[in-house]
Amino acid sequence: MRIVALAGGVGAGKFLRGLQRIALDEGHDLTVIVNTADDIEMWGLHVSPDLDSVVYWLAGAMDRERGWGRAGETFHAREALEAGNMLPTWFAIGDRDLATHLFRTELLRKGWTLTAATASVALAFEIPWTILPMTDDRVTTMVRIRESDHLVHDVHFQDYWVRRRAEPEVRAVRFEGAVRARPAPGVLDAIGGADAVVICPSNPVVSIGPILAVPRVRDALWQRRDRAVGISPIVGGAVLAGMADRLMPVAGLEVSALGAATAYEGLLAGWVIDEADGDLAPKIEERLGIRVAVTETVMSDDEVAAAVARTALDLLG
Amino acid sequence: MRIVALAGGVGAGKFLRGLQRIALDEGHDLTVIVNTADDIEMWGLHVSPDLDSVVYWLAGAMDRERGWGRAGETFHAREALEAGNMLPTWFAIGDRDLATHLFRTELLRKGWTLTAATASVALAFEIPWTILPMTDDRVTTMVRIRESDHLVHDVHFQDYWVRRRAEPEVRAVRFEGAVRARPAPGVLDAIGGADAVVICPSNPVVSIGPILAVPRVRDALWQRRDRAVGISPIVGGAVLAGMADRLMPVAGLEVSALGAATAYEGLLAGWVIDEADGDLAPKIEERLGIRVAVTETVMSDDEVAAAVARTALDLLG
C-alpha cells in the first residue's frame, strides 16, 4: 500500500513513528509531505523546523521530552553567540541540529532544490521513506498581531511563536507566496497514487493549512478524499502542544475535535478522535458525513502511536 | 607608544598575550595586523583561523593546551556532520568557534568588509585593541605538493597542513591574489605611525610572508625599519609548532634563528632569539646588521611572553 502523510512538526513526528512501524511491518510505502511555511533564515542558515522534526522523529534522533531538536543536544554555539552579542539567539538551534542546517544551506547555495536537499538530509539520517517539502518555492506564514492600539503588524510565524511566545493577540494568518508556489516535484504524483492519505495530528491552521494553500494540492487531495483520514490534534478541547488553540479561532475554527475536522471538510473519509472527545463522534459524523473512530490518541510512546495509525488506516477499510 | 604587531596564528597568540600585558601596564596602543591567506570557506562559512587565534588568545578564550580553538570546546556539530556524512569534516570547527564563523559570514554576506567584520568580532570578545586583517581582498596560500611522479599539484594551505598533515613533499608556496590585493584600511597608516613594529614569532613563510606580499606593505615596513623588531619562531633549529621547518627550505631559508631573521632582511632593527640559539647571535648581528637579544622565548605562560615582549621593545631603545 502507498501511504501519503501530510505533516507539520512535533505532533506529526510522534504519530509518524507509529505509522512507520506499521509501514515496516506490513511492507507499505510511505511518503511524507511536510509544511515548509515556518522555515526561517537564522544565522544565515536555511532552517526547516518541520522537515527536521519529521526526519529526527522518524530517525529516532529526536529529543522526546522537549519535543523539538535532537536528543542529547547542546547549545554551545548559541551560548557563544549570545555571550558575544553576535547574532539573535531567540530561536534556539542546537549544535547537532546546526549540522543539518549547515548541510542544507550548503546544498541550496550550490543550487540544489529544497526537495533534493531534503532527500539528502533524509539519507544522512537513513530514513527509508520519501520526505518531500510541500514546495520548493518560498512560502512564509505571516501572523498579524496586535501589540497595542497603534501597533498591528505582520511578523514571521517563528517571531510570533518562539520570540513572542504566542502571547500577542492574533488578528490574521496568511501564507505569503502561496498563490505563486508550485507543489514540489513528487507531491501531486504521490497524492494521486496514494492508497491512503493521512493527515497527521498537526496544527490545521499553520502546519497543514500551508500545504493545502499550495495551488493544486487541495484539488489533488479532494480527488483522493475517499482514501483520506485524519487524526485530531485537539484532545478534550485543548492542544497537547503548540498554539492551535489561539490560531484556530482566527481561522473561524472551533477549538475542538470537530473544529479541527472542519478544517479538512470535503477532504476526508475518516477522522480519529480521542476517547476524551467520544461524545463528539456522532456530531462529527453527521456534520461532515465521515466515519469517526474513537481511541487513545495521546501518543506517550511508539506503541500508542502505532495503535493510532492502525485505527486511522482501518477507518479506510 | 603606538605598537603594531604582524601576526599569524598560535605563536603570535602566545606572544601577544605578553605584549598586551605590557601595553595595558604602560598605556600603549596596540594594532595587530593579521595574516588572512589561510582563510578558507568551510561548511559555507568564512573561516579566518589566524584572525580568530589572535582574538581568542588576546581574549583569554583560547585552548592553551591544544593551541587552536576555544577553551572547553565541544565538536558536536562536526560529529553530526561526520555521522551523517553530510559535509567534509577534516577541518575541525568547534561548536563555540562556529559562532564566530556564523557571525563573520553573516556580516560579510550583508556586504561588510572583512575589516569591519573583524572589528565586530573583536568587540564581541571585548578586545580593547585594533585587530586588522592584512587585506579585505581574497589572498590564498597555495602549496604545490608532489604526491607522486605523476601528481604535482597546488592545494589550499589548509588542505596541505590540516587534511594532509603536512606530509607531502612541498615544491613551492605562492599567495594567490596577492599582487592584486590592497592593504586593508588602516594597515598602512598603522605601520606608518608606529613607534614600534613587532613581528611575532610566526611562520615567516606562510604567516608573515603573505602580509609582506600585499603590495605597499613591505615598503611601509621598510620605512619603519629602525623601529622594527622580531622574535624568532625557530628555537634550537626546530619549530615549536607548525610546519615552518618544512616550508622554510622551500623559500630558501635555513631552519634556524638566523634563517628566520633572513626572511625579514632589511626590515628589522632588532631580533630576539632563544637562549638555545645564543651562539648564533654574533653571526646574525654581523650578517644582517641588526641588534640581537638572547632570552628565554619558549612562552609556557603569559609571564614569559611578557618578558619576551619587554626584551623585544627594549631592543628599540
Closest chain A CA to residue B86: A103
User: Which positions in chain A touch B100 (Cβ < 8 Å)?
Assistant: 80, 84, 86
Q: A interface mutation test: which of B89, B95, B125 has the most A CBs within 10 A?
A: B95
The least confident of A4-8, B10-14, B126-130, B131-135 is B10-14
Q: For B14-56, write each residue's pLDDT tens digit.
A: 999 999 999 999 999 999 999 999 999 999 999 999 999 999 9
pTM score? 0.94
Residues 6+ apart with CB under 8 A from B219: none
Residue A251: helix, strand or coil by DSSP? helix
Confidence of residue B115 (pLDDT cuts 50, 70, 90): very high
- Interface test mutation site (partner B, options A102, A112, A127, max chain B beta carbons within 10 A): A102
From the number of C-beta atoms within 10 Å of its C-beta (0-12, 13-18, 19+), residue B88 rates as exposed
Q: What pLDDT score does B149 carry? A: 86
Residues of B in contact with A84 (CB under 8 A): 99-100, 103, 121, 124-125
Minimal Cα distance from A94: which residue of B?
B77
What the block records as the C-alpha cell of A160 is 510570533
> pLDDT tens digits for B5-21?
999 988 999 999 999 99
Domains delineated in chain A = 2-136+180-315 (3.40.50.10680), 140-176 (no CATH)
Strand blocks (E) in A16-96: 29-34, 40-42, 45-47
- In this complex, the residue of B73, B74, B105 whose CB is nearest that of residue A44 is B105
CA distance B73 to chain A (A): 8
Number of neighbours of residue B300 by Cβ within 10 angstroms: 10
Rounded Cα distance, B87 and B94, in Å: 14
In A, which residues are within 8 Å of B86 by CB distance?
99-100, 102-103, 120-121, 124
Nearest to A104, CA basis, from B43, B102, B104, B105 = B43
Measured in angstroms, the CA of A303 and the nearest CA of chain B are apart by: 27
Predicted confidence at residue A118, as pLDDT, reads 98
The arithmetic mean of pLDDT across residues B283-288, rounded, is 97
Give, in degrees to the nearest 5, the angle at Cα B109 between A143 and B111.
110
**pLDDT tens across the length of chain A (317 residues):** 999 999 998 899 999 999 999 999 999 999 999 999 999 999 999 999 999 999 999 999 999 988 889 999 999 999 999 999 999 999 999 999 999 999 999 999 999 999 999 999 999 999 999 999 999 999 999 999 999 888 999 999 999 999 999 999 999 999 999 999 999 999 999 999 999 999 999 999 999 999 999 999 999 999 999 999 999 999 999 888 888 999 999 999 999 999 999 999 999 999 999 999 999 999 999 999 999 999 999 999 999 999 999 999 999 98
pLDDT of residue A10: 87
Q: Residue B133's closest CA among B58, B16, B55, B69?
A: B55
Contact A102 B81 (CB under 8 A): yes
**Which is it for strands A228-231 and A196-199: parallel, antiparallel or unpaired?**
parallel
ipTM of the complex: 0.93
Q: How close A42 comes to chain B (CA, Å)? A: 10
Are B73 and B56 spatial neighbours (Cβ–Cβ below 8 Å)?
A: no
* Closest chain B C-alpha to A212 CA, distance in angstroms: 32
Cα gap B15→B308, rounded to integer Å: 8
Q: Do A78 and B84 touch (CB under 8 A)?
A: no
pLDDT of residue A241: 82
Shortest Cα distance, chain A CAs vs residue B37, angstroms: 23
Of the partner residues A43, A81, A106, the one whose CB lies closest to the CB of residue B43: A106
Q: Do A87 and B106 touch (CB under 8 A)?
A: yes
Nearest residue in A to B78, CA atom: A99
pLDDT at A79: 98
Q: Mean pLDDT over residues B210-224, rounded?
A: 98
Residue B107 sits at φ, ψ, to 5 deg, of -65, -45
How many C-beta atoms surround the C-beta of residue A78 within 10 A?
Answer: 25
Partners of residue B125 in chain A, C-beta under 8 Å: 84
Distance CA A272, CA A294 (A): 6
Least CB–CB distance from B96: residue in A43, A77, A102: A77
- Tens-place pLDDT, residues B163-209: 999 999 999 999 999 999 999 999 999 999 999 999 999 999 999 99
User: Which chain A residue lies closest to B83 (C-alpha atoms)?
Assistant: A124
What chain B residue is nearest to A105 in terms of C-alpha separation? B44
Residues of A in contact with B88 (CB under 8 A): none
Alpha-carbon distance of A117 to A41, in angstroms, equals: 16
Q: What is the pLDDT at residue A22? A: 98
Q: Is the pLDDT of residue B241 over 90?
A: no
Task: Give B265→chain A minimum CA distance, Å.
Answer: 41
Residue among B42, B76, B81 with most chain A CBs within 10 A, to mutate: B76
Asked if B203 and B244 count as a contact pair (C-beta separation under 8 A), the reply is yes
Report pLDDT for B91: 96
Query: How long, in residues, is chain B?
Result: 317
In the 3-class helix/strand/coil scheme, how is A159-223 assigned residue by residue? HHHHHCCCCCEEEEEEEECHHHCCECCCHHHHHHCCCEEEECCCCCCCCHHHHHHCCCHHHHHHH
Q: Are the CB atoms for A236 and A230 separated by under 8 Å?
A: no
Supply the pLDDT for residue A183.
98
- Closest Cα to residue B206, out of B238, B168, B166, B235? B166
Strand partners, A143: A155, A173
Q: What is the mean pLDDT of residues B224-249?
A: 93
* Nearest-CB residue to A77 (from B81, B95, B105): B95
Grid cell, residue B38, equals 589561510
Model confidence over B145-162: pLDDT tens digits? 999 888 999 999 999 999
Number of Cβ pairs < 8 A linking chain A and chain B: 104
CA–CA separation, A92 and A47 (whole Å): 11
* Contact across the interface for A44 and B79, Cβ inside 8 Å: no
